[in-house]
């Protein structure tokens, strides 16, 4: 059997298991087990496949058919041009969140030697991306990151080490471990899916990602209320609060932030045209 034929069989199995993006995943899993680059695969796809490659490929295709996320199988996810290790203890970094980070880049450029707080840091992808963006501007930067999950923090710490980012990590509930510190930017991708919706999500999400990172309580807005209120004690003058939000939460989050006293509150869309970013100054 050639590598091409193995991938073709993999696609058929994934499609039968109703796995989304079966063609992409089948090829990515072949690259993973062979350690081929994409150009290597194109060069060798008609070669007779090695037996150990076929055996490993069958195993990972079976895992994907069980709806284990592709990122969990290969162990990494690209985000903003950097690789982040992921597992079942953190949300897999998503393209939607890149839109939020790009806006955060624009906003943080207004500050000299900024101090940044990332709440609900998960894999650490937001904090680490912001750290490097500011460092690339030849500025000093202090980044703190908080999560309520010790397992998530362990992943984030490893990602910071792998990506050579100096981040101060804290275990606790939102601002609880922060004391009296104040920041130029507070950024958060909090849990924002209504509780009743979580169980209807794709198996890759509801069965393999941490529920505590998804569930935003009854209406999905719990953490926007809490963070918007408490952040006022932790933002410097003209500091900015920025959120990732759900596709239908723009109006609600805008109202929450305005009622808490933020000004110039703005809702922006992602590349798919959905509400994704909310920010305002204090």
Residue 80 has a pLDDT of 96
- H-only helix segments in 21-149: 22-34, 38-44, 51-65, 70-74, 95-108, 125-136
Residue 38 has a pLDDT of 93
202 and 251 fall within a common domain: yes
109 and 143 fall within a common domain: yes
44 and 107 fall within a common domain: no
151 and 240 fall within a common domain: yes
Q: Is residue 187 part of a domain?
A: yes
Q: Is residue 163 part of a domain?
A: yes
pTM higher than the cut 0.85? yes
239 and 108 fall within a common domain: yes
Chain centroid offset of residue 34 CA? 27
Residue 180 has a pLDDT of 86
Residue 181 has a pLDDT of 92
Q: Is residue 138 part of a domain?
A: yes
Residue 179 has a pLDDT of 84
3-16 helix and 51-65 helix, angle to the nearest 10 degrees: 10
60 and 200 fall within a common domain: no
Q: Which of 37, 66, 95 is the last residue of a domain?
A: 66
Work out whether strand 275-281 and strand 82-85 pair parallel, antiparallel, or are unpaired. unpaired
255 and 134 fall within a common domain: yes
Q: Is residue 175 part of a domain?
A: yes
Q: Do 128 and 159 contact (CB within 8 A), yes or no?
A: yes
215 and 97 fall within a common domain: yes
145 and 266 fall within a common domain: yes
CATH of the domain at 206: 3.40.50.150
122 and 206 fall within a common domain: yes
Residue 173 has a pLDDT of 94
- Tell which residue, 249, 233, 150, has the closest CA to residue 190: 249
272: DSSP letter: T
208 and 252 fall within a common domain: yes
Residue 212 has a pLDDT of 87
Domain count, the chain: 2
Residue 222 has a pLDDT of 95
120 and 170 fall within a common domain: yes
Owner of token pair 């070669």: 47
CB atoms inside a 10 Å sphere around CB 174: 19
Over its length of 282 residues, how does the chain's per-residue pLDDT go in tens digits? 999 999 999 999 999 999 999 999 999 999 999 999 999 999 999 999 999 999 999 999 999 999 999 999 999 999 999 999 999 999 999 999 999 999 999 999 999 999 999 999 999 999 999 999 999 999 999 999 999 999 999 999 999 999 999 999 999 999 999 988 999 999 999 999 989 888 889 999 988 998 889 988 889 999 999 999 999 999 999 999 999 999 999 999 999 999 999 999 999 999 889 999 999 999
Q: Is residue 80 part of a domain?
A: no
Q: Which domain covers residue 19, as residue numbers?
A: 3-66
Q: What are phi and psi of 48, to 5 degrees?
A: -65, 125
Residue 26 has a pLDDT of 98
């Amino acid at each position: 059997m050639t590598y091409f034929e193995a991938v073709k069989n993999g696609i058929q199995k994934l499609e039968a298991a109703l796995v989304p993006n079966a063609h992409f995943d089948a090829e990515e899993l072949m690259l993973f087990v062979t350690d081929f680059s994409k150009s290597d695969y194109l060069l060798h796809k008609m070669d007779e496949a090695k037996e150990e490659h076929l055996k490993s490929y069958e195993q990972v295709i079976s895992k994907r058919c069980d709806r284990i996320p592709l990122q969990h199988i290969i162990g990494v996810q690209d985000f903003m041009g950097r690789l982040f290790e992921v597992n079942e203890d953190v949300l897999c970094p998503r393209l939607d969140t890149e839109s939020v980070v790009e806006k955060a880049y624009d906003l943080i450029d207004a500050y000299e030697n900024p101090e940044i707080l990332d709440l609900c840091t998960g894999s650490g992808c937001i904090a680490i991306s912001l750290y490097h963006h500011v460092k690339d501007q030849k500025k000093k930067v202090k980044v703190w990151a908080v999560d309520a999950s010790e397992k998530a923090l362990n992943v984030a710490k490893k990602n910071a080490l792998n990506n050579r980012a100096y981040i101060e990590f804290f275990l606790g509930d939102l601002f609880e471990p922060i004391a009296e510190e104040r920041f130029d930017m507070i950024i958060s991708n909090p849990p924002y899916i209504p509780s009743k919706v979580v169980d209807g999500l794709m198996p890759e999400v509801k069965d393999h990602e941490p529920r505590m990172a998804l569930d935003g309580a009854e209406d999905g807005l719990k953490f926007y209320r809490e963070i918007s209120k408490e952040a006022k004690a932790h933002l410097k003058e003209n500091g900015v609060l920025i959120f990732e939000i759900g596709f239908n939460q723009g109006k609600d989050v805008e109202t929450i932030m305005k009622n808490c006293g933020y000004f110039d509150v703005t809702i922006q869309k992602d590349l798919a045209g959905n509400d994704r970013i909310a920010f305002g100054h204090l």
